Chains A and B, each alone.
Chain A
């Protein structure tokens, strides 16, 4: 039976992730939008999409969803964060007092490439994927520090842009904005 996949639907590119999961062959009736702790209890893995981290952090705390996500992660639920999602998973955000879930032992730098005019796309080799992936970076963060247990899956010009520890995965870029479903399939098999 296919896993029940949740996509955090508080704000951001959640609809695009749902489209990518369907494109990756996942049954549409086993994809859920997650807004509350009750929604989370229906799923056995979670994608945190791109969006604005301050907005999502605030509303997650408001509903208590932050605590339930942390509990489920500690019980082994796979989570994948893209862009803002990776910021949410981080232990620390550089130069800012900012809420995060502290599920990956990494420090992230927000908007590491600068304003929107510096957004870009490229092809990236990622450990565990057969082909280089189409990667769209939008006001993207990078990983500036990580614990020894965290595996680096990909770099862009020596900057870390994809990491994994156990079943927690973080990427700076947005596979959900492309038709490339390699990472979605990778996550579904995690």
Chain B
């Protein structure tokens, strides 16, 4: 007997609450880039809250050059069948057909990502048009709010993907949070000009003024390679971290993956972090961001 009576309940889907809701469920966790089912299993066993399925990690995209596109659906499905945690995948900035394909594959979250080669010089994907939630990168408050206006259900710092250098992720997180504090402390009659300065919609600037935070969860990505890096981003105010090349480009991925998961739980406890950081083998070699020519900086992609 159905306690709701005999009528079949018709659910409503595609609500904002469900989209942001899934991002809420990922808080306090680690999302890992994986390129095949074996890596996906290692990530899940290590305690990842989600995996990002892609053909090449950012470090390899950097090395190989050329145009980086959405991954082969076959490869994405292989990963989806392997794990029970949510699976994310990347589409190019503005490439709404890649996004449609990823939605048809029933991917749990789409990353409209600067790591891939942009497909539109001016427009991002209209994310309101989709059932699946999107995450987008941002370097500052204005960029974050423009993505929210387009329908992003999660924001992450861009950092500088594939470098293993955390400096840009730190810069972006500090910038977003300090700009939020400025908006929060402004007088109400100053919000109009702040909206203009940040090139962001007025209603979202007003919301930030009222709440003191982004309208959606605020995660961190781009260059995180060690448990200490992950804990640094959490102490700075990230709600979850993405680790791309840092795990599977290191000497002992399973161990490092587990250590980074633990570091996000104990991010405020240096003694535990010391224990967690022991004997992890070699970290990814990485690239010092200050040696990157502007043409090779991924974070400048996105409008």
Are A120 and B84 CB-contacts (below 8 A) given A12-B25, A127-B3, A177-B17? Answer: no
CB of A13 within 8 Å of the partner chain: yes
Interface size class of B (residues with CB under 8 A): 35 or more
Select B13's contact among A119, A154, A158, beta carbons within 8 Å. A119
- Pair B21/A136 contact, Cβ less than 8 Å: yes
Contact A111 B261 (CB under 8 A): no
- A117: which of B3, B28, B106 is its contact (CB, 8 Å)? B106
Does B29 lie within 8 Å of A11, measured CB to CB?
yes
CB of A184 to closest CB in B, whole Å: 16
In the bound complex, CA of A11 to CA of B24 (Å): 10
- Contact (Cβ within 8 A) B18 A51: no
The yes or no answer to B295 lying at the interface (CB within 8 A) is no
Chain B proximity mask over A83-119: 1 for CB below 8 Å, otherwise 0: 1100000000000100000000000001100111111
Q: Given A117-B103, A117-B132, A121-B12, are A50 and B18 also a contact pair (CB < 8 Å)?
A: no
**Contact with A120, one of B3, B12, B28 (Cβ below 8 angstroms):** B12
A139 in complex: contacting residue of B8, B17, B29, B86, CB < 8 Å: B86
Q: Judge if A67 is at the interface, Cβ distance under 8 Å.
A: no
Q: Which of B46-54, B91-99, B114-122 contacts A (4 or more CB under 8 A)?
A: B46-54
* Smallest beta-carbon distance B239→chain A, Å: 9
Is there contact, CB below 8 Å, between B21 and A114? no
Q: Is residue B283 contacting chain A, with contact meaning CB distance below 8 A?
A: no
B3 contacts A121, C-beta separation under 8 Å: no
Is B109 located at the chain interface by the 8 A CB criterion?
yes
Query: Are A51's CB and B21's CB within 8 A?
Result: no
- Option from A13, A55, A156 in Cβ contact (under 8 Å) with B261: A55
Binding site for B on A (CB under 8 A): 9-16, 35, 50-52, 54-55, 58-59, 62, 83-84, 96, 110-111, 114-122, 124-125, 127, 136-139, 152, 154-158, 174, 177-178
- Residues of chain B touching chain A, judged by Cβ–Cβ distance below 8 Å, are 2-4, 8-13, 15, 17-18, 21-22, 24-29, 44-50, 80, 84-86, 103, 106-109, 131-133, 261-262, 265
* Given A12-B25, A54-B47, A127-B3; 9 other pairs, CB 8 A cutoff: A12-B24, A52-B25, A55-B47, A59-B47, A115-B106, A116-B107, A117-B132, A118-B13, A125-B3
